[in-house]
């Protein structure tokens, strides 16, 4: 459904960030992107959603295709109309609006009030806590509630693809599990494909069915997540496990050397 073909991204005409990235997002699939800070994961999401244009970035080589249509030169609002929605890192919301007002902003492309009401009810089914907080000023919600809110706001636009950037950031483990379970339900019931960027590699590999590993702007490894979990490099550098299955301390793994096949 969505393909990146050998995409290069440059910021401010001089800073090369993505160096020939190719990936596929199948219809209704769940894909994860793994990699250290600065690997190019968030830039990959912004290239798809069109938000590169707001940060002086552009696709200088390759293309991004959604259902046969090239979208990498389109504006963010045009891409959103096609059904691609990004939930950005850091829970970007309108803090002075109420919970329900924030949700309604997510449905601003639809003028049919009855349809919007139906969508709102659907969001409240997935996140009942938000219904109890619908009149609460959103800036006073907890981190977990805000993450639910921005995810629900994205759902208000009836997306076909959701791009999620670090949804677990700063949240308690039990709350992270709850949100990921809801996301699995959304993927199955709403037929929404998900591309997930996540530092919690173990959670991401359990959640997704296919994964890509990025380093310095390139994809260095990809495959079904069950296969990636058994990869010795993934175990050591992303899951913190030694070859005998024991967790290793930071001092033991801090001198990270890439395998030759990853270069």
pLDDT tens for 211-228 read 999 999 999 999 999 999
- Write down the pTM of the prediction: 0.87
Task: Give the HSE-up count for residue 168: Cα atoms under 13 Å, Cβ half-sphere.
Answer: 21
Give the DSSP letter of residue 254: S
- Phi–psi pair at 47, nearest 5 degrees: -65, -40
| Angle in degrees, 0-180, between the axes of helices 99-106 and 143-155, rounded to the nearest 10 | 30
In angstroms, the CA 235 to CA 256 distance is: 13
User: What structural domains and CATH numbers belong to the chain?
Assistant: 2-83+192-262 (3.40.50.300)
Q: What is the pLDDT of residues 17-49, one digit of tens each?
A: 999 999 999 999 999 999 988 899 999 999 999
User: Given a cut of 80, is residue 111 above it in pLDDT?
Assistant: no
Distance of CA 262 to the CA centre of its chain: 23
Average pLDDT of the segment spanning 204-210: 94
Q: What is the pLDDT of residue 241?
A: 66
């Amino acid at each position: 459904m969505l393909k990146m073909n050998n995409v290069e991204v440059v910021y401010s005409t001089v800073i090369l960030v993505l160096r020939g990235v190719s990936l596929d997002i199948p219809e209704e699939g769940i894909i994860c992107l793994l990699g250290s800070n600065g690997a190019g994961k968030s830039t990959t999401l912004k290239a798809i959603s069109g938000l590169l244009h707001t940060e002086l970035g552009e696709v200088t080589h390759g293309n991004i295709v959604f259902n046969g249509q090239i979208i990498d030169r389109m504006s963010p609002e045009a891409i959103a109309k096609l059904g691609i929605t990004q939930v950005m890192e850091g829970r970007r919301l309108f803090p002075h609006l109420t919970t329900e007002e924030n949700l309604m902003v997510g449905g601003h492309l639809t003028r049919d009030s009855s349809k919007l009401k139906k969508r709102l009810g659907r969001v409240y089914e997935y996140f009942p806590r938000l219904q109890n907080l619908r009149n609460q000023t959103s800036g006073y919600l907890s981190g977990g509630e805000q993450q639910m809110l921005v995810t629900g706001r994205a759902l208000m636009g009836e997306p076909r693809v959701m791009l999620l950037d670090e949804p677990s950031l700063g949240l308690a483990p039990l709350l992270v599990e709850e949100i990921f379970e809801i996301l699995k339900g959304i993927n199955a019931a709403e037929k929404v494909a998900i591309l997930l960027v996540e530092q919690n590699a173990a959670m991401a590999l359990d959640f997704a069915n296919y994964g890509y590993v990025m380093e310095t702007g390139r994809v260095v490894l990809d495959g079904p997540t069950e296969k990636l979990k058994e990869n010795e490099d993934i175990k050591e550098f992303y899951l913190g496990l030694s070859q005998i299955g024991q967790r290793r301390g930071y001092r033991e793994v801090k001198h990270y050397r890439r395998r030759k096949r990853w270069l």
